[in-house]
Amino acid sequence: MDKLIGRQVKDLALATHTAYLPGFSGYLLLLEMRKPEAPELLGMAEVKGQPEGIAVRGDLVFIPAWEEALRVFDASDPARPVEISYMETAGLSTDVMVSGDLLFHSDFWAGVEVFDLNSCGIHGRPLSPP
């Protein structure tokens, strides 16, 4: 592909035929990738803070947003992803990954925090409404 998608994209995650892209300027893009040579915009949402990374588990999208905690979005309707929660972190939220039921979150000051997604406030530390 010789076509650029989005601007100032910090990271990306792929799930099935959907690409999830967080951008420095505070947005989340969802793209249909069945035809990678011609990706289609499915939806987008504003992200509070500066997105630093991204992880996807099912319909949940996790975005570390530097000084604005770890943001959690519901993308069950790809045309309208919506922030459903956030998790305060020890300092500066820098990266996230999900492996099975575990969420690994890196914080600039605190190091790595590990959360069980089955016992935290999403579905541990409680999550807060946006």
What local confidence, expressed as pLDDT, does residue 1 receive? 39
Measured distance CA(65)–CA(50) in Å, rounded: 5
Q: What structural domains does the chain harbor? A: 13-116 (2.130.10.10)
29 has which bridge partners?
A: 21, 44
Residue 42 has which token pair?
């499915």
Q: Are 99 and 111 in contact (CB under 8 A)?
A: no
Q: How far is CA 33 from the centre of its chain?
A: 18
Q: Model pTM?
A: 0.85
Q: Are 31 and 17 in contact (CB under 8 A)?
A: no
Measured distance CA(127)–CA(117) in Å, rounded: 11
Q: Which string of DSSP letters, residue by residue, matches 54-87?
A: -EEETTEEEEE-BTT-EEEEE-SSTTS-EEEEEE
Kindly report the average pLDDT of the chain as a whole number.
84
Look at the alpha carbons of 36, 38, 42, 43 in this order and tell me if their dihedral is positive or negative. positive
Query: What does the pLDDT look like over 38-78, one tens digit per residue?
Result: 889 999 999 998 899 999 999 999 999 988 889 999 999 99
